[in-house]
C-alpha cells in the first residue's frame, strides 16, 4: 500500500505567556492510500493538533511531515493554502457553509481557487451534490436544509477537487443519532470508492466505522490498532 501520510517524530509546542505547552511529543505514524483511520483521545490528548498539522492548517515545531511525497513541514502560509486546496478535503462539525450561498455555490467554492470557469465549476459541483444524494437541492441555502443535508453539502464540497485525503473533524458532533449513522454510511461509501479518510471523533461507536483506530493521550500515540469489529450497514439508502 502506497504511503500518503508519513509523520516522523513531529512535536508541537505552544508558548502561552510564560508557559510552554507541549501539545504533541514525537508522533510518528504512516497512513496508506485508501485507509480509513480514526483519531481518538480525551480533551488535551493532542488529536486536534495532529489533525491540524495533517490538514496543513499548522506546522510542527520539530520533525517532518510528508504528504503525498511532498515534505510540507516548513512551507509558508501561501504554500500550505495551495496544498490544502489541492490535496485535502475538509469536513467540519459545524459544516462551515456560507449562509447566503446556495448548495451549488458552497460546493463550487474550492473550484474558484483552483481556477475553473463558472460553467465548469457548476458542472463539477452539481455532480458532487448528486454523488451525495442532493442533486435536487442545488438551489437551496443552508437554512433551507436539515442538519444531515448540510453535512452532505459539506462532504460534497470536500470531494469536489478530488483530494488525496478527506479530513473529518467530529463530522457527526452536531447531528442526532440516526442522522449521524446516515452520514457515517456515506463515509463508508466514499471509502469503498477508494477515498482515504481520516476522522477525529470522541465517540466510540462512530470510531468503529473506521478500519484503524489511533488513540492519543498526553501528546503521544497510546495505541494504534486495526479495528477488528468494523461497523458496517450493508443496505445503505440515501436519506433526503
What band does 186 get if pLDDT is binned at 50, 70 and 90? very high
Mean pLDDT of the chain: 92
Where does the pLDDT of residue 139 fall: very low under 50, low under 70, confident under 90, or very high at 90 and above? very high
> How many residues are there in the chain?
240
Contact 49, 24 (CB under 8 A): yes
- B/e letters for 130-168, b = 16+ CB within 10 Å, e = fewer, are ebbbbeebbebbbeebebbbbbbbbbbbbbbbebbbbbb
Q: Are 180 and 172 in contact (CB under 8 A)?
A: yes
pLDDT tens track for 70-109: 999 888 889 998 899 889 999 988 889 999 999 999 999 9
Q: What is the pLDDT of residues 157-178, one digit of tens each?
A: 999 998 999 999 999 988 998 9
For the chain, what are the domain ranges?
38-50+78-226
Q: What is the pLDDT of residue 49?
A: 93
Q: Does residue 238 surpass a pLDDT of 60?
A: no
- The answer on pLDDT for 226 being more than 50 is yes
Fold exhibited by the domain 38-50+78-226? Rossmann fold (3.40.50)
Q: What is the per-residue pLDDT for 234?
A: 60
pLDDT confidence bin for 138, thresholds 50/70/90:
very high
The predicted pLDDT at position 239 comes to 41
Q: Residue 99 has what pLDDT?
A: 95
Count of other CB atoms within 10 angstroms of residue 16: 7
Asked whether 70 and 3 are in contact (CB, 8 A), the reply is: no
Amino acid at each position: 500500500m502506497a504511503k500518503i501520510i508519513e509523520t516522523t517524530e513531529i512535536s508541537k509546542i505552544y508558548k502561552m505567556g510564560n508557559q510552554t505547552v507541549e501539545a504533541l511529543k514525537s508522533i510518528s505514524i504512516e497512513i496508506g492510500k485508501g485507509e480509513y483511520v480514526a483519531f481518538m483521545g480525551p480533551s488535551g490528548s493532542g488529536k486536534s493538533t495532529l489533525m491540524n498539522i495533517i490538514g496543513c492548517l499548522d506546522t510542527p515545531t520539530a520533525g517532518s511531515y510528508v504528504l503525498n511525497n511532498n515534505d510540507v513541514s516548513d512551507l509558508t502560509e501561501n504554500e500550505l493554502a495551495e496544498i490544502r486546496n489541492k490535496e485535502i478535503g475538509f469536513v467540519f462539525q459545524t459544516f462551515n457553509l456560507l449562509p447566503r450561498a446556495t448548495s451549488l455555490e458552497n460546493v463550487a467554492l474550492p473550484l474558484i481557487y483552483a481556477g475553473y470557469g463558472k460553467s465548469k465549476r457548476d458542472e463539477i459541483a452539481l455532480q458532487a451534490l448528486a454523488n451525495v444524494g442532493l442533486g435536487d437541492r442545488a438551489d437551496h441555502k443552508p437554512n433551507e436544509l436539515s442538519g444531515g443535508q448540510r453535512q452532505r453539502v459539506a462532504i460534497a464540497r470536500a470531494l469536489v477537487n478530488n483530494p488525496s485525503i478527506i479530513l473529518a473533524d467530529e463530522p457527526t458532533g452536531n447531528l442526532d443519532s440516526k442522522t449521524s449513522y446516515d452520514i457515517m454510511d456515506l463515509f463508508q461509501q466514499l471509502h469503498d470508492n477508494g477515498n482515504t479518510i481520516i476522522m477525529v471523533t470522541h465517540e466510540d461507536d462512530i470510531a468503529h466505522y473506521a478500519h484503524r483506530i489511533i488513540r492519543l493521550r498526553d501528546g503521544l500515540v497510546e495505541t494504534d490498532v486495526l479495528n477488528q469489529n468494523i461497523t458496517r450497514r450493508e443496505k445503505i439508502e440515501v436519506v433526503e
